[in-house]
Structure formats: C-alpha cells, structure tokens
A and B are shown apart, each in its own frame.
Chain A
Amino acid sequence: MSPGLHHFVSLDLPAMLAGTLAALVCALLGNFLLLRRESLMGDAIAHAVLPGLVAGFLVSGSRATLPMFVGAAVAAVLAVVLIEVVRRVARLEAGAAMGVVFSAMFALGVVLIERAAVRGVDLDPDCVLNGQLERVFWFPPAEWGAMLSLSTIAELPRELVTLAVVYALAVAAVGVFYKELRLVCFDPALASSLGLPADAVRIALLAGVAAAVVASFEVVGSILVIAMLVCPPAAARMLTDRLGPQILVSQVVALATGVTGYTLAAHGPRWIGVGESINAAGMMAVVGGAAMAGAILLAPKHGVLARARRRRRVVLDTAAEDLLADLYRAGEPGHPIASGPPPTASPAVLSAALARREITLDASGAPRLTDRGRDRAERLVRAHRLWESYLVSRAGLRPDHVHDRAMELEHITDEELARRVASEAPARTDPHGKPIPPSTGEAERPPFSGHSG
C-alpha cells in the first residue's frame, strides 16, 4: 500500500465514514420528525444527553463507550418524559417545555464536567459540540489480502462499528414499521382510529432518535446531529411529495453531505492555500445547510424559484389575455377606443403573446390580433359577457358592479363552463348591450333559439 493511500485509509477514510454514517442514520430518522413537526425534539435530545454522558464517564472513570452510551440513552429518554410532564403539569406549549428541560439538563451537564475537572478528571465540553472526528483512526494491515480477515475487522474503530450497527438497526426498524410510521406521520387521527398505538409509535421513534443521537455525537458532536436530523429530510421534502422517495433522497443528500463536508474541511483549506484543516463536523453541517438551501431555491415543483416563475407566468398570461380582449373590443364596431390609439402592453406581455403567435406587430410597433389571437380573444370576451349577464340575471348584482368580477372569471372559464353559464343565463347581449360572441361550434346555428325572447 502506498504511503498516500495508507494515510487515506487510516486517517481520512475512518473519519469520513464515521461522519457519513452519523449523517445517514440521523437523516433517516429525521424524516419522521420532520413530518411530525417535531424537528426541534432532535435539538432538545441532542442537548439533554450531556449529563448522562458525563455521569457515565464519572461512574466508569474512563472514556469507555458502554457506560457513557447507557448514561446518554437514559438521559435522552428522561428528557422525552420530562418534556411531556412539564408540558402537562406547567401547561406550557411544547417549545417552551422543551426549552425548560433541555437547557436545565445541559446546564447540569456543564456543571458536572467542571466538578469532575476539580477532581482531576478531564472531559472537554467542546467535543460535546464539535465531536472528535479526528480521533477516529485505524491502522489497516499492510496487505490488501488481510483486509477482510476477522482480526482486521475486530480492530476497526469502535465508533465506526457502533454507528454501523445503529444504522443497520434503524434501516431494519424503518423497513419493518414503514406502514405504521407513515400513517402516524401523515394521518395520526386515522392511525388512532385504526387502533394503532400512535403514542407508542411516537415514543419508539423518539427512542430511535435518541439512540442515533447518542451513537453519532461522540464522533460528530451535537451540532452535526441536529443539522443532519433536519437538513437532508427538509431538502428531500422540497423535492418530493411521497415518503418513500423522500427517505431515499434524504439518504443520498446525507451521503453526499458527509463526503463533501469532510473533504472540504480536511483538504479545502490546503487547496486554497490557507493552511491546515478546519472543523469537519461544522463543515458537514454547513454543507447540509447548503444542500437544503439549494433544494429550497431550485426544487422543480415546490422550490422558491419555480413558484415565483409560476406566479409570474400566471400574471403574464392574465395580462396577455387582457391585451387580446382589449384588442378585440377595440376592433368592435361602435367601440369608443376604436378611433383612439390601439391598446398595448408592457414588452414582457407583448413578447409572451408574440411567442404564442396570437398577435403580430405592425410597422408602428402596435399589436394586431392574428386569426389565432382573434379566436382566443373571442372566447375570452364571450366568457366575460356571459358572466356579466349571469351575475346580473342570476346572482342579482347591479350591472355596474359586475365588470371587475367578470374580468377575473374570464381567465378561468373554459369552453365547457362557458356553455353551462350560457345555458343558465341565456342572452345575446351583456347587461351593457354589447353582443356576446357565439361559441365556435354554435357560430352557424341561431343562438339560444328556445329561450331568448
């Protein structure tokens, strides 16, 4: 194995894998927190495990995993229970109850750490926040052949093994209870009416989150845990409406975030020539945030830009339709503005109508209806005047109050609806005496033969 590769396999790979596994397991369970609107519970749990960790550390007197793991798990479950108790007894909203419990527990943890330091036992409070990814390393065997032997696997970093086991368990649990979880997330009322123990599912979910938090955060710290519980699922939620794809996308985002974040932190500073590596857990959180921001902006259906484009399109379409109708009216005999300057519109509206070949521009730059545009305009004016007559004769509105209403309705009235309005309120002219253009199919027949009189 070359020295460079050896360096990568013993230092970069374990840390990157640990960070990525933590991201994957947090993102997986975070999907359900997100849908249940309990993302802040991840925040609360990630803070509240501190006293448990320290207690485990003090009891065992070492950084052995098991006592700290047990302590943290107990603290996490205690936090969930206490939040519920405080919420009910003190009649607080969920957020406030969370704030009371997790900040009190975190403060207790900080004091415990400092008291331990008085006794000469050192536990760095910063690694609770930042994790200690750089402490995850591995001495791989010199030969590739020995890579898969049992003794090699037994020497894998303990954190890595813990994370892998927790991730596998989480995947299995989500697979087995997928239907129940989906029901509890999307329709809790239906879930309980089907006899599903919604509370039990919720508690199990939070216990799973607690396990994920505890397994992850001695490696990556609580910041990354909170970020990974929410950012990948939130990005996925922007991209899809269905739970299955959302989970898959969140896993892809988590994977990419872990690898990219670590690489940027470990090697990015050297690439831009500013020296050593920077905090990897923090960098992964930033990359996760960037992924979420990207999804928020660019998601094809729910994204901010797509929505803005759609809204702009509706405005533009409406304005273009208004232009067509104005041009049509201006061409009607006896129209007051027939003699004045022809109607026009903003360049954006003109080009939208031009692109659909509904108008052409004459030598002076004034818009003229094409045949296609005239058809469309006729349908719009027909819908407008039919609605005006309907609103006066059927809905009882005064004739001078119906124009604005009809201006809105004409844009959302298709041929079929126009026909129904016509049969409800048959008329040849609108309340202001303007002729109602016949529908294309009726052009030859005498309109409304049976009713008009």
Chain B
Amino acid sequence: MEPLAQQPSVVELAWNVATLRAGYNTTVVVISAALLGLAAGVVGAVAMLRQRAMMADVLAHCTLPGIAIAFMVATALGAQGRSLPVLLAGATASAVLGVLAVQAIVARTRLRDDAAMAAVLSVFFGLGIVLLSVVQRMRTGTQGGLSHFIYGQAAAMQAHDAVLMGSVAVMATLSVAAFLKEWRALCFDPRFAQSLGLPVARLDLGLMTLVVVVTVIGLQAVGLILVVAMLIIPPAAARLWTDRFGRMVVASGMIGAAAGYGGVCISATLPRAPAGAVIVLTATAIFLVSLLVAPRNGVLARLASSRARFQGGAA
C-alpha cells in the first residue's frame, strides 16, 4: 500500500497545472482550452469587424435542440447517445438551421436583424429546454451530460474529447490565417472586395461556418451561454491596442489563448470554479486592463491627453 501523499497546497496545484505536470488528462484539457481560445480569438476578431459578433450568441443558443435530438435519435437507434461527435453533429445542424432562419426572416420580412436574432435565439433555446425535459423523463437514459452543455465543464472533459476540440481549433485558426488578405478586404469594404473580384458571399459563408465550428467545439468546455464571450471579449480587448487588422487578429488570438489557458488552470485548482465562467472572467480581466492602460484609446491615455490639452490651452 502506498503511503498517503501529503495534500498539495493550492499554489503547488496551480503551478503543476500551469506547467502541464498535473497528469495527462488535465494537460490535454489545458492545451486544448488554450487552442480553443486562440481559434475563438482569431475567428471572433474577423466576425466582430464584419459586424457579426452577436450571431455567435444566436447560434450558440440554437445548438441546444440539436444536442437533445441527436441524443434521443442516437439512444433510440441503440447507439451511445452521449458520444461527443454525435452530439456535436446535432448541435451543428441546429445551429445552421438557426442561422438560416435569421437570414430568411431578415431577407423576406419587414422585421430587422435584432428582432430576428432575439426571436430565433430564444425560441430555439426554449425548444431545447422542452426537449431536455423530455429526455429527462425518458426511461431509456438519463440526460446526464446534456445539461453540461449549457454551462460547460472543461474540468471533467475526457482527453479524447479535448483532442477533438484542440485539433478542430487548430484547423479553424489556420483557415483564418490562410485567407487573411481576403478577410481584411471583406471587413473594411465589402464593395471594394467585390470589385477586386473576391467572392464576398462565399467569404461570408466561410466566416459563418468558422463561427459555427468554433462555437460548437467550445460548447463542452465553456457552455453554450458563455461561448459567445470567447468570440467577443478577446477581439474587443485587442481592438483597444491596435487599429491594424493583422495585428488585431493576432492579438485577439493571443488574448483568447491566454484566457483559455489561465481559466482552466484556475478552475482546475479551485473547488467548484466552473471553467467556462472562469475563462470568461479571465478574458474580462484582460479586457478591463486593456480598457484602462491601452495606448491612445485606453481611459488613462485619454485622461492624460485631455489634461495635456487643458494645460496647453491654459499656458
């Protein structure tokens, strides 16, 4: 029999997690969360500049009925309902339906995009909640893992799920990097991009696809309510530091990666600190610091420049 190891202190534990020495599973989850943050940061930067930021919120909420239906169908067919690829396939399908619904309402009715988005988001989510309550009452299986998609639970992720998340995140990041010039033209002047012969409609479709992909893979770690934060807060922080497109995408990706990494480390260390929320709060902390100290656009810089102007005027 092994002697009882001394309980490590919080600091030791945090150090072990942060330096990737806290066991295979935790290490994989930490790396994957950082990669997810990177992907969400770069994709979110493009989406924000293209003014599609809140679409991420809509389609994240839209995934819930898809998850529930995928679970029910898989269970009814005798398969393992809780397998991640199955659930994520369902999530993707209903997210795409939600995006199409928003586009159809905006294109074919007098209702504006904000109303279309709010309606689709809440109705899909309501349907998801109804279906979850049905699943709960099914005799065949417990909904167990399903409601974790709402708030996320990175800490309980299995290594193979984390590997799936990390590798898709890398692919999403590479797709943004590969078309950086095209995205830039699209974000700053879609008409100019069109006149250059760029396939604007297809680029927009590609962007939406990337947003769907990042949202869906982020579901399990961060949860569907908060995954939008990973696509919005890092680029909002990065925007404070630079006006250049390329730099902003890179900065946003780095901030996202830092938030993913830091958030999982903190949440793995403290009891009952849900990873999703902690990741978002880490990103928020970076945003707030940026808001204060960013050169030129930060609050402090603005105060200083207005004081300088005031003194210059007085002299």
Flag if A107 contacts B276 (CB, 8 Å). yes
Interface size grouping (class) on chain A? 35 or more
Contacts of B130 on A, CB cut-off 8 Å? 265, 278-279, 282-283, 286
> Smallest distance from the beta carbon of B55 to chain A beta carbons, Å?
9
Partner of A114, one of B274, B297, B299: B274
> Is the pair B272, A118 in contact by a Cβ cutoff of 8 Å?
yes
Q: Chain A's interface: helix, strand, loop or mixed, by majority? A: helix
Interface assignment of A99: CB less than 8 Å from any CB of chain B? yes
Known: A92-B236, A279-B130. A37 touches B114 (CB 8 A): yes
Q: A96-118 interface mask toward B, CB cutoff 8 Å, 1 = contact, 0 = none?
A: 11111001101110110011011
Q: Which of B48, B151, B291 contacts A96 (CB 8 A)?
A: B48
* Residue contact B114 to A38, C-beta cutoff 8 Å: yes
- Against A, the Cβ 8 Å flags (1 = close, 0 = not) of B45-57 are 0001001011011
Q: Is B229 an interface residue (CB 8 A)?
A: yes
Q: Residue of B at shortest CB range from A261?
A: B126
Which residues of chain A come closer than 8 Å to B123, judged between CB atoms?
227, 231, 285-286, 288-289, 292
Which residues does B use to contact A, with CB under 8 Å?
48, 51, 53-54, 56-57, 105, 108-112, 114-115, 117-119, 121-123, 125-130, 132-134, 137, 147, 150-151, 225-226, 228-229, 232-233, 235-236, 239-240, 271-274, 276-278, 280-281, 284, 287, 291, 297, 299, 302
Does A28 reach chain B (CB closer than 8 Å)?
A: no
Within 8 Å by CB of B111, from A107, A234, A288, lies A234
Residue pairs across A and B with Cβ atoms less than 8 A apart, 19 shown, are: A37-B112, A37-B115, A43-B122, A92-B236, A93-B51, A99-B56, A99-B57, A100-B284, A103-B280, A110-B151, A129-B129, A227-B126, A234-B115, A238-B111, A276-B137, A279-B132, A282-B133, A284-B126, A296-B111
- Alpha-carbon distance A103/B54, docked complex (angstroms): 11
Contact A96 B129 (CB under 8 A): no
A126 to B151: give the CA distance in the assembly, Å.
Answer: 9
Q: Out of A42, A106, A117, A289, which one reaches B225, CB within 8 Å?
A: A106
Give the docked Cα–Cα distance between A269 and B135 (Å).
13
A110 touches B51 (CB 8 A): no
Q: Whole-angstrom distance from the CB of A42 to the nearest CB of chain B?
A: 6
Contact B122 A89 (CB under 8 A): no
Interfacial chain A residues near B112, Cβ < 8 Å? 37, 39
Tell me the nearest residue of chain A to B47, going by C-beta. A96
- Asked if residues A114 and B272 are in contact (CB atoms below 8 Å), the reply is yes
Contacts A89-B299, A285-B125 given; does A231 touch B119 at CB 8 Å = yes
Q: Is the CB of B129 within 8 A of A226?
A: no
Residues of chain A lying within 8 A (CB to CB) of residue B272:
114-115, 117-118
A288 to B127 CA separation, bound complex (whole angstroms)? 11
- By a CB distance below 8 angstroms, the chain A residues around B48 are 92-93, 96
Please report the C-alpha to C-alpha distance between residue A99 and residue B105 in the assembled complex, in whole angstroms: 22
Cross-chain contact of B280 among A39, A104, A234, A237 (Cβ < 8 A): A104
Chain A residues with CB under 8 A of B302 = 89
A40 with B54: CB separation less than 8 A: yes
A210-262 contacts to B, CB under 8 A, are 223-224, 226-227, 229-231, 233-234, 237-238
Q: Does A125 contact B (CB under 8 A)?
A: yes
Among the listed A99, A274, A292, which residue makes an inter-chain contact with B119, where contact means beta carbons less than 8 Å apart? A292
A278→B159 CA distance, assembly (Å): 35
Report how far A64 CA is from B302 CA in the complex, Å.
Answer: 44
Chain A's nearest CB lies how many Å from the CB of B53? Answer: 4
Which of A42, A96, A224: most chain B CB closer than 10 A?
A: A96
Which A-B residue pairs are the 5 nearest by beta carbons? A285-B126, A289-B123, A282-B129, A103-B229, A107-B280
Contacting pair B297 A90 (CB below 8 A) = yes
Residues on the A chain within 8 Å of B110, using CB:
237-238, 302
Residues of A within 8 A of B297 (CB): 89-91
Chain B, residue nearest A241 (CB): B110
Which residues of chain B are within 8 angstroms of A110 by Cβ–Cβ distance? 151, 226, 274, 276-277
Contact status A230-B284, CB under 8 Å: no
Whether A90 contacts B118 by the Cβ 8 Å rule is no
A90 touching B239 by the CB < 8 A rule?
yes
Extra pairs beyond A106-B280, A269-B134 (18, CB < 8 Å) = A90-B239, A95-B54, A96-B54, A99-B53, A99-B57, A99-B229, A100-B287, A103-B226, A107-B281, A114-B277, A118-B271, A227-B126, A238-B109, A276-B137, A278-B137, A283-B130, A296-B111, A304-B108
When each residue 113-141 of chain A gets 1 if its CB lies under 8 Å from chain B and 0 otherwise, what string results? 01101100000011001100000000000
Question: In the complex, what residue of chain B is closest to A224 when comparing beta carbons?
Answer: B126
| Mask of A34-64 contacts with B, CB within 8 angstroms, 1/0 | 1001111011000100000000000000000
- A40-B54, A89-B291, A223-B126 in contact; A99/B228 too (CB < 8 A)? yes
Question: Which residue of A96, A229, A276 is within 8 Å of B118 (Cβ)?
Answer: A229
A25 within 8 A of B: no
Residue in contact with A289 in the complex, picked from B57, B126, B236, CB distance below 8 Å: B126
Write the chain B residue with the least CB distance to A276: B137
Docked-complex contact A231 and B109, CB < 8 angstroms: no
Within the complex, the shortest CB–CB distance from A310 to chain B, in Å, comes to 13
Q: Tell me whether B126 and A230 are in contact (CB under 8 A).
A: no
* A221 and chain B: residue at smallest CB distance: B129
Instruction: Decide yes or no whether A275 CB sits under 8 A from chain B.
Output: yes
**Whole-angstrom distance between the alpha carbons of A71 and B109 in the complex?**
39
**Contacts A106-B225, A111-B277, A285-B122 given; does A296 touch B109 at CB 8 Å:** yes
Nearest-Cβ distance from residue A88 to partner chain B, whole angstroms: 11
Q: Does chain B have a CB within 8 A of A281?
A: yes
Inter-chain contact B108/A108, CB cutoff 8 Å = no
Nearest-CB distance from B215 to chain A (Å)?
13
Picked from B105, B129, B287, the residue with its CB within 8 Å of the CB of A281 is: B129
The residue from A43, A100, A284, A302 contacting B109, defined by CB atoms under 8 A apart: A302
Asked if A223 and B125 make an inter-chain contact with CB atoms under 8 angstroms apart, the answer reads yes
A230 to B61, CA, bound (A): 16
CB A308 to nearest CB in B, in angstroms, measures: 9
B232 touches A99 (CB 8 A): yes
Chain A residue at minimal CB-CB distance from B227: A103
| Complex Cα spacing A100 to B229, Å | 6
Tell me the nearest residue of chain B to A40, going by C-beta.
B114
* Bound complex: CA A131 to CA B202 (Å): 41
B232 touches A100 (CB 8 A): yes
B144 to chain A, nearest CB (A): 14
Residue in contact with A43 in the complex, picked from B56, B121, B240, B274, CB distance below 8 Å? B121
Min CB gap B140→A, angstroms: 13
